[in-house]
A and B are shown apart, each in its own frame.
Chain A
Amino acid sequence: MTRAIVLFFLLAVLGGCEGHDPHVRLLERYSFSDAGARQRTYAGEEFPDSAGIQIYALRAGGTAKPLRVEYEVTKGGGSVNPRVVMVQDANLALTRWTGGQASTLQEMRARVYDSDGELLSSRQLRGLAFSEARWDSCIYPPERGMIDMAWSPIHDTTLLVSGQGLFIQGNRYFDWLPHPDPEFKDTRNIEVDTRGNFYIGDNDGSIHKSTDGGATWQAISKPIPGFQGVFDFTVTRNDHLWMTTYYHSIRCSRDGGTSWSVDTAGLAKDERIGDIYSLSDGTIVMMSLNSNVYQSMDDGHTWQPLDLPGKPFGLFVTPDDEIVVFALAITPGNNGYAVYKAQTPGGEYQKTAHIPSEFGARSLIHVYSHEGLYYVGIPGAGVYTTTAFEDFEIFKRLPRLFELFMSGEGLLIGTHTQHKKAYYKKIARNR
């Protein structure tokens, strides 16, 4: 009896000590991705391509069951047709989506159900609907994250440089087509000369040139041999190319980028170009990033400092060679920029206006002329219009405006201080 009990005990202890092994078995997996998302259209018009979701499935045994996808517009005021799409033999569930008028951002929710009615996924598709009747907000690249923009009136082409590379404007003002050359994924500046030649400065210290409106490019020079990095780059009305960068003062090319000369006589140490203009009489006037203003009477070989009122943060020269200076004005409760105007670089500066601003940004005040009106982008303030830089009107208050760009057709694109979005406004539709 005792032995039986002990044996039973031992067997019971050993029994159940083992069993199955740990194991994971994937029963089913569906992966969902957007199809036709982030499209753009005019408000009130259908998006160019069908939109919907793409479904990939993996099931452990059995056959695929049909899925039901329900679409519902949730933002922007658009519409969708059909609202329900069944998926059986294809892995695409597409519908037609029309952009609404309510906002730039259009949103449509897609809910995926299995054949038992269980919700497998709920995801949101987004698109953009642009309207000339309003300021649009673009939350997608390349405008979000754009760095520079240039327009060639000769080729009627607008190029945009963003963190994603070089883009060429498409048929619609909000279409931007990436340049196919992968070398231009890493560009920094874009400029255009009076003959319609585009110049690109890349992050490797090189300059590329296009004579055919941005279709093809040639590497023309490396202004600082051995230098690799970003640099300041601009082209003046006399088609001179100018560049500076950290620890490398002003270099100028007077032959379209073939050769470069270092012209720093008269400049303070470590001056870098902020804003630079050539006047009709050949005088060159330049505001440095140290807020010093110089003029050169010998095509930029030697420089003379100018004594201007206030601390210049922006410089502009009108087609009539009038000098406009935006000087930082620190006034309790009314910080901003004081606008001064003079007939010549060394002439008498008259204060014409005060533009309040949230913050000061040197060399980021950009002025564009369009159909007889100047559009002035003031960082931390917004877009102002003026005819003679004496009276300014607020065109759009944008306290988070960082830089303003304009294409020749009257398209304003402003960047956000934190690159969260781009401000979009088509002033006139010329096409």
Chain B
Amino acid sequence: MNRFSVGLHSGINFASLQGKLKQGKWESNSGAINGLYFEYALSDHFDLHTGLIHESLYLTHKDYSYSNGRDEPGPGPWHLFNPDVLYPSSYNSNRHWNFNMYRIPLQIQFHTQTRLRFELAAGTSFGFLVQAVAPHNSCPIYYNEQNIIRANEDASFPEHDWGYYYSAGIDYPVDKQWTIGVAGNYYSGSREFLEHTASRLESLAFMLNVEYSGIHDDGIKTYHSRDSLKSKWFITYKTGMLLSNHRGNQFQNSYSPRIGLSGGIAFYYHLDESFSLQAELLYQRKGYHLEDSSRYPYRMATSPDIPVQFDNDTRVDLDYFTLPVLLNVRFGQNEVFFMNGGFYYSFNFNARATGTQYETHITSNTYQRKKLRIYDHMEGYIKDGDWGWVLGAGLRLPVWGSADLELELRYDQSFTDNYQNLGDREYMREDRAFFNEGLQLMVGIHVPIY
């Protein structure tokens, strides 16, 4: 058994923010991530994982750029008049941040004893800010690629950061001491980095790794056989489509379901010949489609207090990491069929509204129509957590050795509404009681692991 392992990993990351984001697009530009890591085997299945990582995080915030069409054929013989536009006929207000950091992760890692080894790790990470480049404090306005409105460059950031660090990946041994693999890492920071959005750093990284385990080798190398008859532990790699909607709102007819993606892994522990405990880690994209006259592009709210009419056709994406815990029962010949039920807890890490909004502003002095291409991050409106119940059923068909093809149809529904308390005004209270609802059709590969 190799107690110590050392490896190098390298890849790209996509930085983003977690916090009270409410407007505009936070674009995740790719940055480099490199480092080395050390693993110490605590047991056959668990390692202590640490290392040193350098990563560059790039963030861009794109607020609503503006154009009034002056560059197009004019309005005929009429006088051009644009009295209340302080800015030029078109501008953008993009802002860029760049953070260079060293991180020291400390994780407990679980891995299978299969040749193609699946790894799952969770822990914390401590970061040291090396360099930060910040934009101006207030929105700069660019016209013809020149910054025509700027403010001071006063910005300060914490020197240190820490947060939760999760990893998942697969490794494959190329000889007795060398292993290669791919991994995905998700970091969720706990320090507030951008004050104006009260937001914390997060990043999603994809890395290739090369690992050497010949430092201390006791000469015993074992891969456990995958005898499904004797196995108690199983894993399913699954993915599928998710039809989601929101229920319980005041203007239900304004919303319609939308299709998203769902996928992840499921662990099974067989309690007896019929029942097993099932725990999963899933990525789920939920959300809904809004098509109505609402002052907000992401939920229905009337606007009797302002002389503006809205016409929305938008889509709301809510990205969750979901942890269902279920009781699974197998039945039928060769245990082909199964049903499961239980509860889930979801962590929202991304929320945004995209689409089109037409805005018509009518007063006795003005008639104005605008077309807005909506792209708003809206994590500031959505609760971080969601929990509810799950009920599903499916079948498993043997396809390849001890691996089964798994098909499952599952329904889930949240217990609590998803929106934050936005305020007491009428249009803030309207239609705020949203409950997630989803129907998933998933396909997966079910294999024994121990």
Measured between C-beta atoms, what is the minimum distance from A101 to chain B in Å?
27
Residues of A within 8 A of B25 (CB): 21-22
Do B62 and A29 have beta carbons less than 8 Å apart?
no
Contact of A22 among B63, B69, B81 (CB under 8 A): B63
Docked complex Cα distance between A287 and B278 (Å)? 100
Distance of A205 Cα from B63 Cα, bound (Å): 54
Instruction: List B residues at the A interface (Cβ < 8 Å).
Output: 14, 24-25, 27-28, 62-70, 72-83, 116, 170, 182, 184, 206, 237-239, 261, 263-264, 283, 317, 354, 362-376, 400, 403, 444-445
Stretch of A8-16, A276-284, A361-369 on the interface side: A8-16
9-residue interface stretch from A117-125, A208-216, A289-297: A117-125
Assembled-state Cα–Cα distance A30/B80 (Å) = 10
25 A-B residue pairings within 8 Å (CB atoms): A1-B400, A9-B264, A12-B261, A14-B14, A20-B375, A21-B373, A22-B24, A22-B25, A22-B64, A23-B67, A23-B372, A24-B64, A25-B67, A25-B371, A26-B368, A27-B371, A29-B369, A31-B83, A55-B78, A57-B75, A58-B68, A60-B69, A63-B76, A64-B75, A123-B365
A2-B116, A8-B239 known; A33 and B65 CB under 8 Å?
no
What is the distance, in angstroms, from B113's C-beta to the closest C-beta of chain A? 16
Instruction: Tell me the nearest residue of chain B to A124, going by C-beta.
Output: B364
Given A9-B263, A10-B206: A18 and B27 within 8 A (CB)? Answer: yes
Q: Are A1 and B68 in contact (CB under 8 A)?
A: no
Question: Are A63 and B73 closer than 8 Å at their CB atoms?
Answer: yes
Counting chain A CB atoms within 10 Å of each CB, the highest count among B62, B75, B365 belongs to B75
Contact of B368 with A22 in the complex, beta carbons under 8 Å: no
Residue of A6, A9, A22, A89 contacting most chain B CB atoms (<10 Å):
A22
Complex Cα spacing A380 to B259, Å: 73
CB of A28 within 8 A of chain B?
Answer: yes
**Contacting pair A59 B79 (CB below 8 A):** no
Contacts of B73 in A (CB 8 A): 61-63
Is there an interface contact between A19 and B370, defined as CB atoms closer than 8 Å?
Answer: no
Q: Is the CB of B365 within 8 A of A20?
A: no
Tell me how far the C-beta of B371 lies from the nearest C-beta in chain A, rounded to whole angstroms: 5
CA distance in complex: A16, B315 (Å):
12
Given contacts A10-B184, A12-B263, A17-B28, contact A24 B75 (CB under 8 A): no
A374 contacts chain B at the CB level, 8 A cutoff: no
Q: A22-B24, A24-B64, A57-B81 are in contact. Are A12 and B371 (CB under 8 A)?
A: no
Q: For residue B311, give the distance in angstroms from its CB to the closest CB of chain A.
A: 12
4 more CB-based (< 8 A) A-B contacts, given A22-B62, A58-B70: A6-B170, A27-B371, A30-B367, A60-B72
State in angstroms the CA–CA spacing of A32 and B78 once bound together. 13
| B81 proximity list for chain A (CB < 8 A) | 31, 56-58
Which residue of the partner chain, among B362, B368, B375, contacts A28 with CB atoms under 8 Å? Answer: B368
A91, CB-defined interface residue at 8 Å: yes
- Are A13 and B374 within 8 A (Cβ)? no
Known: A9-B239, A26-B67, A63-B73. A121 touches B365 (CB 8 A): yes
How far apart are the CA atoms of A9 and B376 in the complex, in Å? 25
User: Which B residues lie within 8 Å of A121 (CB)?
Assistant: 362-367
Q: How many contacts A-B (CB < 8 Å)?
A: 162
A133 part of interface (Cβ distance < 8 Å) = no
Complex Cα spacing A13 to B69, Å? 36
Given contacts A31-B366, A32-B364, contact A26 B69 (CB under 8 A): yes
B170 nearest in chain A by CB position? A6
Among the interface residues A16, A30, A58, A63, which one has the most CB atoms of the partner chain B within 10 A?
A: A58
- Set B170, B184, B206, B375: member contacting A21, Cβ < 8 A: B375
Question: CB-nearest residue of chain A relative to B447?
Answer: A2
Assembled-state Cα–Cα distance A24/B372 (Å): 4
A16 surroundings in chain B (CB, below 8 A): 317
7 closest residue pairs by CB, A with B: A60-B69, A56-B81, A64-B76, A26-B68, A123-B364, A120-B367, A61-B72
Contacts A9-B263, A12-B261: A19 and B375 contacting too (C-beta < 8 A)? yes
Quote the shortest CB–CB distance from B120 to chain A (angstroms): 13
Q: Are B365 and A33 in contact (CB under 8 A)?
A: yes
> Distance in Å from the Cβ of B364 to the closest Cβ of chain A?
4
Shortest A425–chain B CB gap in Å is 33
Q: Which of B237, B238, B368, B403 contacts A30 (CB 8 A)?
A: B368
Whether A22 lies near B375 (C-beta < 8 A) is yes
Question: Smallest Cβ distance from A379 to chain B, in angstroms?
Answer: 37
A60-B72, A61-B73 given; A5·B368 CB < 8 A? no
Q: Give, as a whole number of angstroms, the nearest-CB distance from A302 to chain B.
A: 62
Task: Please indicate the chain A residues that have their CB under 8 angstroms from the CB of B68 in the complex.
Answer: 25-26, 29, 58, 60
A20 to B73, CA, bound (A): 25
Minimum CB–CB distance for B334 against chain A, Å: 21
Structural contact, B69 and A27, CB atoms closer than 8 A: yes
Q: Does the CB pair B370–A24 fall under 8 Å?
A: yes
Bound complex: CA A59 to CA B72 (Å): 9
Q: What is the chain A residue whose CB lies nearest that of B169?
A: A6
Residues of B within 8 A of A112 (CB): 367
When chains A and B are docked, how far (Å) is the Cα of A10 from the Cα of B369?
40
Does B365 contact A32, Cβ atoms closer than 8 Å? yes
Q: In the complex, are the beta carbons of B24 and A122 less than 8 A apart?
A: no
CB distance from A173 to the nearest CB of B (A): 32
A221 to chain B, nearest CB (A): 45
In angstroms, Cα B239 to Cα A14, docked, is 15
Query: For residue B62, which residue of chain A has the nearest CB?
Result: A21
Is A56 within 8 A of B364, CB to CB?
no
A8 to chain B, nearest CB (A): 6
CA distance A64 to B317 in the complex (A): 39
Closest B residue to A25 by beta carbon equals B371
* B-chain residues with CB within 8 Å of residue A56 when the two chains form the complex: 78-81
A contact residues around B237 at 8 Å (CB): 2, 5-6
Expressed in whole angstroms, the minimum distance between the Cβ of B142 and any Cβ of chain A is 13
Instruction: Tell me the smallest distance from the CB of B245 to a CB of chain A, in Å.
Output: 18
Contact A22/B239 with A56-B78, A58-B80 known, Cβ cut-off 8 Å: no
In the bound complex, CA of A59 to CA of B78 (Å): 10
A25 to B357, CA, bound (A): 11
